Structure 1
């Protein structure tokens, strides 16, 4: 190799990092903002803050959590949709994002086109429970009772169009089109007095919320909406093993950024999210909240998951005539 070639290679070696640096998008100078469209102190907020704190160690700037509630998750989601596409703002949302389009036909943003999924953080199964006075102990007994008495019984939910409402309606659908009356409340805790009294004998709740009532024997478990039994509730069977084979449902947590955010920044946020979820201490804490942690998500797999959830829930919303206002 002659001297000219060697000098050329050396120059190329010096220029390449400069070109890569010039092409890489610059991070904003201010701290990154994680918008959580749910109230502070709630289950989504607790997990989001844990992840945000850990992400701060892997990103150029600290991640600050901002709770923006109102109109369901619409206000907080709109804030992110209209934020700069530079990695300074991202959305920490749930299954609520997948059903926005179906529940709110007139939105000031497009929940699909205006967002890029970054990482699926975890999935949380739910448990269907009944008051002991109902006299059933498993899925098939409950199905038989409801099939023999169409429209006679009520079920409670933590809110219209929420994860447990949708999951319960999916169960009625998969169990053969059962007719059960929906009574929405403002949160599971608001519903529980009527459920514990037996006035409304059926309720679905996220697993972590259900476990205390099961431990005290106040309610009876019918099944968990996961494909596997939960280590936190090993005695609660899945619906799959009880013969309702197509019924699996979760609420889930996902990180998204405004569409158009440069791919290198999306990848960096994805890597920081996975890194935040990897430590055993974090996994243990999230497993206490009955979350199935996903610590190897990619933007592509997160998008595929979101697309599948939209395709899954929109037909249920239409068939059950679910609207944002009930």
Structure 2
């Protein structure tokens, strides 16, 4: 019996190998839904649409953007986690995808087990901004003003558990600021209320906030990168402003549901790598201080894993726990 089974097994395995390749070549053969779990117009939406537009040129299939905001991004993420693992429902999100389960009192998804990491797209620093009417030009000046006037000034955040929210929580605790953090459903309403003078300050990723800095509707008082930005050389870093060694970046990527076929994940990762190198996108990314990266699914999964460990230590030390 063994004598006959061995050749048969070899034939079956040999037949399966071409099928794996055929799966990747046949994909995609219909439009792909891309869930962005925040409101239109913010940094995640801006970058996600740029990448999706380039991908549909390369793959010859439409990417249908669906904004599903709510619960600080968890509603959109959960939709993807429950979707069929066939590559036709994907998620474009930022580092908050990994951070949310660390800060919510009741975890609704596991950032590693419930998703397939496809590719990291890049990362970007955040800007600390205020309304121009507030008489400060640096974060150090704003800290002095806020300490002298407890409870007078407020933070706006784009969502609980976002990089914006984590930065503001760290500032409150480490810089001894008595400032309420007010929640918004995305960066657009967050920044709109700062521009309207309803909230004093915010921390927001550069792609979404850049147009308002250039128009003078918002004033940058610090950046969260370890070095000053070439586009804003006069704006100090947070590390220069009272928190030595501070660096916090928002990174973006694409995920699918758990158990996405390896061939599809790898095909998408390869195409994303090509997309972010497209000259038209590179020019826009440079203008937004967005640094692109190319990763395999395995490399991106490691990024997610390492970030969960690193930020988990910060969350625990700061005792951050929220109800979305």
TM category (shorter chain) comes to: 0.7 to 0.9
| Residue 31 of structure 2 corresponds to residue 20 of structure 1 | no
- 1:66-81 equivalence runs, <5 A: 66-72=65-71, 73-81=73-81
CA distance in 1, matches of 2:205, 2:273: 24
Give the corresponding residue for 2:290.
Answer: 291
Q: 1:43 to 1:213 in 2, by over 3 A?
A: closer
Give the corresponding residue for 2:3.
Answer: none
Q: Secondary structure at the match of 2:23?
A: coil
Given that residues 67 and 76 in structure 1 are in contact (C-alpha distance below 8 angstroms), is that contact kept between their aligned partners in structure 2?
A: no
Q: Secondary structure at the match of 1:38?
A: coil
CA distance in 2, matches of 1:195, 1:286: 25
Q: Secondary structure at the match of 2:17?
A: helix
How far off its partner does 1:269 sit? Answer: 1.2
CA RMSD across the alignment:
3.4
Give the corresponding residue for 1:12.
Answer: none
Q: 5+ unaligned residues in a row in structure 2: which ranges?
A: 1-11
Given that residues 124 and 252 in structure 1 are in contact (C-alpha distance below 8 angstroms), is that contact kept between their aligned partners in structure 2?
A: yes
Q: Deviations over 1:126-167 (max 9, x none)?
A: 111234665443333334444555555322333444332222
CA distance in 2, matches of 1:224, 1:84: 40
Task: Give the paired residue count.
Answer: 308
Q: Secondary structure at the match of 1:26?
A: helix
CA distance in 2, matches of 1:25, 1:109: 32
Moved more, 181-190 or 278-287: 181-190
Q: 1:218 to 1:47 in 2, by over 3 A?
A: closer
How far off its partner does 1:121 sit? Answer: 0.6
CA distance in 2, matches of 1:293, 1:112: 22
How far off its partner does 1:83 sit? Answer: 2.5
Q: Deviations over 1:99-146 (max 9, x none)?
A: 231354545543321112111112222111234665443333334444
Q: Deviations over 1:266-316 (max 9, x none)?
A: 22111111011111211112233332222x222233223222333344455
- 1:1-150 equivalence runs, <5 A: 20-24=17-21, 26-27=23-24, 29-59=29-59, 62-72=61-71, 73-106=73-106, 109-131=109-131, 134-147=134-147
Q: Deviations over 1:7-26 (max 9, x none)?
A: xxxxxxxx998663135462
Q: Secondary structure at the match of 2:247?
A: coil
Give the corresponding residue for 1:263.
Answer: 262
**Higher Cα Rg, which structure:** 1
Q: TM-score normalised to the size of structure 1?
A: 0.77
Give the corresponding residue for 1:305.
Answer: 303
Q: Secondary structure at the match of 1:85?
A: coil
Q: TM-score normalised to the size of structure 2?
A: 0.78
Give the corresponding residue for 1:239.
Answer: 238
CA distance in 1, matches of 2:137, 2:100: 35
CA distance in 2, matches of 1:125, 1:299: 23
Give the corresponding residue for 1:181.
Answer: 180
